[in-house]
């Protein structure tokens, strides 16, 4: 039986590849040659959904994908994003129509393609009417430059408004056992409107992949360095949850990453996950999660162990949190 799931009118494996870490985000990235080998290995394994953005490595991630995979472009579903402004500690958004279309042309050039299958607005821009931003994306669809559009870290209210202007294909947001914000309203909106939900950081930025024991070893250019959940005042509590989760995975005969990904995919048949990695062995480990279905008791045990009431610390530092439109829990429990 096929495990494929639909996104933007195309069936893909529900485990895709988040490409950011190959160029940016988690300390020193691999050299371009090695990063290219990771991309080639992913395609050879069967990955057919690759996700990038114009800001990842200031365009270097799109360039890497273009240089490495342009000759195999027909073999995969390609997603990219625009709309975040990033200048050191300063973060902002720009979803003006002219900016969207100019950024799209730049992404197409870096990716060495004339068509991006899915183009996201990376963040919500409160300064621009939603209909104006969507109108620019519709023009890009009509021009054949993109196949469909999506949004990232938007609230259910704004998703509905955009979808009413023109049907949306996907919503991308952080979703894992320890980040459940989509369960407040976005997951239901996607279900109602037949929109795919694409979960980034589905293994909790490595915490649920047994990939980090001591955050004190993180470099300052690793985004986790400033994230509250990895700070000393919260990490020891979270590490205790991780250890219990690792024991559940061991009891099931799978790795923690496989259990974490299987849990995310179990939430709904329209949910996709895009874990990132720089390692060939992790590519295979993650990809196999799409064919394993844990039992209800195990899923419920995971659900009860790690959730918004048991995890310690906010998911983002305050400057980053101000750019997030997705509904948030207050005091680890009540949504707003």
Weakest mean pLDDT among 135-149, 247-261, 287-301, 318-332: 318-332
List CB contacts of 97: < 8 A, sequence separation 6 or more. 128, 132, 133, 135, 136
- Reported as a pLDDT band with limits 50, 70 and 90, residue 330 is confident
d(CA 276, CA 57): 15
pLDDT given for residue 318 in this prediction: 87
Whether 336 has a pLDDT exceeding 60, the answer reads no
pLDDT given for residue 176 in this prediction: 98
- Segment 121-147 mean pLDDT: 98
List CB contacts of 222: < 8 A, sequence separation 6 or more. 25, 26, 27
Whether 333 has a pLDDT exceeding 60, the answer reads no
CB-based burial label for 288 (10 Å; 0-12, 13-18, 19+): middle
56 is a catalytic site residue: yes
pLDDT given for residue 88 in this prediction: 56
> What is the tens place of the pLDDT at every residue in 116-128?
999 999 999 999 9
Structure letter (DSSP) for residue 52: -
pLDDT given for residue 326 in this prediction: 95
- Reported as a pLDDT band with limits 50, 70 and 90, residue 220 is confident
- Segment 189-203 mean pLDDT: 98
Determine contact, residues 87/79, Cβ cutoff 8 Å.
Answer: no
d(CA 117, CA 169): 10
Beta-bridged to residue 277, according to DSSP, are none
- Reported as a pLDDT band with limits 50, 70 and 90, residue 2 is low
- Segment 247-259 mean pLDDT: 97
- Reported as a pLDDT band with limits 50, 70 and 90, residue 334 is very low
d(CA 65, CA 67): 6
> What is the tens place of the pLDDT at every residue in 68-118?
999 999 999 999 999 998 765 557 899 999 999 999 999 999 999 999 999
Kindly state the tokens that stand for 113. 């393609």
Map tokens 């990842």 to a residue: 56
End-to-end CA distance of the chain: 40
pLDDT given for residue 302 in this prediction: 98
- Reported as a pLDDT band with limits 50, 70 and 90, residue 211 is confident
Task: Report which of residues 110 and 216 the model is more confident about.
Answer: 110
Measuring CA to CA, how many Å separate 53 from each of 121, 128, 239, 279?
10, 20, 31, 20
In whole numbers, what is the pLDDT of the chain averaged over residues?
94
- If we measure between CA atoms, which residue out of 326, 306, 230 comes closest to residue 264? 306
Query: Is 3.20.20.100 the CATH classification of the domain at 5-326?
Result: yes
- Reported as a pLDDT band with limits 50, 70 and 90, residue 319 is confident
- Segment 174-194 mean pLDDT: 98
Kindly state the tokens that stand for 247. 């024991």
d(CA 158, CA 144): 25
Determine contact, residues 245/177, Cβ cutoff 8 Å.
Answer: yes
Q: Residue 99: enclosing H or E segment and its boundaries? A: helix 97-111
> What is the tens place of the pLDDT at every residue in 14-64?
999 999 999 988 988 999 999 999 999 999 999 999 999 999 999 999 999
pLDDT given for residue 90 in this prediction: 57
Percent of the chain with pLDDT over 90: 85
Pairing of the two strands 90-93 and 116-121: unpaired
d(CA 27, CA 255): 24
pTM value is: 0.95
Helical packing angle, 280-287 and 256-266, nearest 10°: 40
Whether 204 has a pLDDT exceeding 50, the answer reads yes
Kindly state the tokens that stand for 1. 């039986």
List CB contacts of 292: < 8 A, sequence separation 6 or more. 254, 258, 262
Q: Which of the residues 56, 149, 175, 316 is marked catalytic?
A: 56
């Amino acid at each position: 039986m096929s495990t494929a799931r639909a996104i933007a009118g195309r069936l893909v494996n529900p485990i895709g590849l988040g490409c950011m870490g190959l160029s940016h985000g988690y300390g020193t990235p691999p050299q371009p040659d090695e990063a290219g080998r990771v991309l080639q290995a992913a395609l050879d394994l069967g990955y057919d959904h690759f996700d990038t953005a114009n800001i990842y490595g200031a365009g270097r991630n799109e360039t890497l994908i273009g240089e490495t995979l342009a000759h195999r472009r027909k073999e995969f579903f390609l997603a990219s994003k625009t709309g975040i402004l990033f200048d050191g500690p300063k973060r902002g958004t720009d979803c003006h129509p002219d900016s969207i279309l100019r950024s799209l042309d730049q992404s197409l050039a870096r990716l060495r393609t004339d068509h991006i299958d899915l183009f996201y607005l990376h963040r919500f821009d409160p300064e621009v009417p939603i209909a104006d931003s969507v109108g620019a994306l519709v023009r890009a669809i009509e021009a054949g430059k993109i196949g469909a559009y999506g949004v990232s870290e938007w609230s259910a209210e704004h998703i509905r408004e955009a979808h009413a202007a023109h049907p949306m294909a996907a919503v991308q947001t952080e979703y894992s056992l320890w980040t459940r914000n989509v369960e407040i309203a976005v997951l239901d909106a996607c279900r109602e409107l037949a929109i795919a939900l694409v979960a980034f950081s589905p293994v909790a930025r490595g915490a649920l992949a047994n990939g980090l024991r001591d955050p004190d070893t993180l470099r300052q250019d690793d985004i986790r360095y400033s994230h509250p959940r990895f700070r000393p005042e919260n990490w020891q509590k979270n590490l205790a949850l991780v250890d219990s989760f690792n024991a559940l995975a061991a009891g099931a005969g799978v790795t923690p990453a496989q259990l974490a990904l299987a849990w995310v995919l179990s939430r709904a048949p329209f949910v996709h996950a895009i874990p990132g990695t720089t390692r060939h062995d992790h590519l295979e480990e993650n990809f196999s999660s799409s064919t394993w279905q844990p039992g209800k008791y195990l899923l419920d045990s995971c659900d009860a162990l790690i959730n918004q009431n048991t995890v310690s610390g906010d998911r983002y530092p305050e400057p980053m949190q101000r750019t997030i439109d997705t509904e948030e829990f207050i005091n680890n429990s009540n949504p707003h």
